[in-house]
Structures are given as structure tokens and as C-alpha cells.
Amino acid sequence: VCGTEIKETEEVLDAIYHRNKTLVIDNTNYQDLIISKLVKETSDTVSVYFEPTNKDFYNFEAAQYVNIRVKLNGKICDRTFSLSSSPLDQFLRITVKLNGDVSHYFYNQAKVGDTIQSLLPVGDYVLKPSNNYLFVAGGSGITPIYSMIRTLLLSNTKSKITLFYSNKTTESTIFLQELDDLEKQFSNPLTIKHFVNGNRFNSSDFAEYAKVNTNFESYICGPLSLKVASKKYLEELNTDQSVAHTEDFVDGFVPMFGIRI
Ligand SMILES: Cc1cc2nc3c(=O)[nH]c(=O)nc-3n(C[C@H](O)[C@H](O)[C@H](O)COP(=O)(O)OP(=O)(O)OC[C@H]3O[C@@H](n4cnc5c(N)ncnc54)[C@H](O)[C@@H]3O)c2cc1C
């Protein structure tokens, strides 16, 4: 499963083992989330808004994820979903692409008022301070990136933000209208380049970007092939960039036992 989260969990457990004063909140108790709104974003994607019974759910960093638990036909199903809302929003939201059991439940069966369960938000795919961000998203990989971009913009960032967003078609582009609105409202910091209908980004798009942008942090989320290609293009730039940050949407769920405070 996802390397970064396992590393994080190991570090926390190591800290507890060596008693080096790391304070950890127990995050093993599933708590109720009530579905407050369902919005079909595209023909195969739905956003699910939650009302948590515990307000601690709002204490998260942009792009962290929730480990949710739903009971389907008597079977417990655990899955991981990035939060697509920003900590600065007044709501908690995940955005789910139709795939197997749990996404089918959210897309086709869930109703406002249904209660599911979740652990508190966790994850180390979070924003590092920078004056310049390059985000690379493919399909549903936009969810954590949308959370980060909204958070930067809502906090009146002075940083420059560029998004390369790849999708099969314009119709299947999640948050297309919302991103368009953000780009109009925040045209100074935000630039979006859409890649659709097989027009994929390539090394020259990254080279062009790097001609005018230096010292940027890059965040990638999307299919494995998009991630591999983006990392290669970034490496080819031969700049002193830090390692690209990536999030992996592996099937199933990513265990996390504690939250450092
Ligand atoms: C950190 C993280 C963040 C994530 N964020 C998001 C997000 O924001 N949005 C999002 O949509 N997803 C996200 N995911 C993925 C999500 O956790 C689920 O894996 C995804 O929604 C599929 O779950 P499901 O229950 O719908 O499908 P599953 O039932 O788990 O099935 C997954 C696939 O396996 C196939 N399959 C299942 N059982 C079998 C079988 N017995 N034999 C053969 N094939 C089988 C299914 O057909 C399907 O294609 C994230 C994952 C991680 C780790």
C-alpha cells in the first residue's frame, strides 16, 4: 500500500516505543459522519458532504484523507478518501469516482441523513511552505489538489500556483466550473492548463514552466502512468527541485494508528 503513510505510522510507533515525548492522539475509534448533501459532479463522480458529530473532524490539513467505514449488506467495508474540501471551508467533503462496492454505494444508493463511520483525518501529503507551486492532477486525482489550491487561495496566498490537469474529456473533468471560477477570481496567483481528449502534457510543458519558474514545490496525484511520467519530466529539468510529492489512490484503505500533536 501507500508508502508515505506507512512510513508516517512507523515513525509514530517508533517515537512511542522510544518514549521521545511525541504526543499522539488515539485515532482508532470510528465516529459517526452524517451525509448532509450529495452532488453529482460528472457522469461517474459524486461529492459527499458530511456533518460530523465530533467537530475535531474539521481539524485537518489540506489534502489529508479520511479512513471511512460503511456496512454494505452486513459486510464492513473500509476505504480511504482524500478530503476535497479545504479546512477553511465550512463543510467536510469527499469526492468519489464510481469503481467498486463503496463508490457504488455513494454514487447510487446513499441518501442525505445516512450515517457512515470514519477515523479522524490523517496523512502526510500536505502543503510545504513555498512561493511557487506546481500541481499535476489526473482525473479523480484532483481531489486532494483541489483542497490544497482552495486553501492557498482562501488564505490570500502570495505564492504562484500552476495546475496541469489531465482528463479524458471536458465533460469528465471534476470541478471544471469551480476551477474556472477560481482562475477568474484569482487570476494573479492561479494558472490552469487543461489537457483533454488525448492531448497529454509532455516534457516540453514542464520545460516551458521551468523556464519562468524556479524553486517550486510539485504535487502530483493521478493514475500511476501520469505520476511516473510527471516525475520523469521533473527530473529531466535538472533543477535543484525537492522530490515531487505524490499521493497514491491504492484500493482499500490506509491504516493510521495515531495523530501527532
Ligand atoms: C490516500 C488515498 C486517497 C484516496 N482518495 C480517493 C478520492 O478522493 N476519490 C476516489 O474516488 N478514490 C479515492 N481513493 C481510492 C478509494 O480508497 C477506493 O479504493 C476506490 O474508491 C475504490 O473503492 P470501491 O469500494 O468503490 O471499489 P472496490 O470494491 O474496492 O473495487 C476496486 C476495484 O477492484 C475490482 N474488484 C473488487 N473485487 C474484485 C474481485 N474479487 N475480483 C476482481 N476484481 C475485483 C473492482 O471491480 C474495482 O475495479 C483513495 C485511496 C487512497 C489510498
Q: How far is CA 1 from CA 5, 102, 247, in A?
A: 9, 18, 11
**Exposure on the CB side of residue 204, measured as CA atoms within 13 A:** 2
CA 36 to chain centre: 21
Whether 58 shows a pLDDT value over 90: the answer reads yes
Ligand 1 atom with the smallest distance to the CA of 247 is: 1
From 138, 131, 9, select the one nearest 67 (Cα to Cα).
9
11, 210, 212, 215 from 236: Cα distances, Å: 32, 11, 16, 15
pLDDT over threshold 60, residue 1? no
Mutate which of 66, 81, 256 for ligand 1? The one with the most ligand atoms within 8 Å of its CB, which is 81
Summarize pLDDT for 207-234 with one digit per residue, the tens.
999 999 988 999 999 999 999 999 999 9
- Cβ(68) to ligand 1 under 6 A? no
CB 103 near ligand 1, within 6 Å: yes
Query: Rounded CA gap, 215 and 102, in Å?
Result: 40
Alpha carbon distance 108, 133 (integer Å): 36
* Average pLDDT along the chain: 90
Taking only the tens place, the pLDDT of each residue in 135-193 is 999 999 999 999 999 999 999 999 999 999 999 999 999 999 999 999 999 988 999 99
Determine the atom of ligand 1 nearest the C-alpha atom of 79: 17
For 108-132, write each residue's pLDDT tens digit.
999 999 999 999 999 989 999 999 9
Element counts in the chain: helices (H) and strands (E) = 6, 13
The residue whose CA is least distant from atom 42 of ligand 1 is 100
Residue labelled with grid coordinates 519530466: 233
Question: What is the model's pLDDT at position 212?
Answer: 93
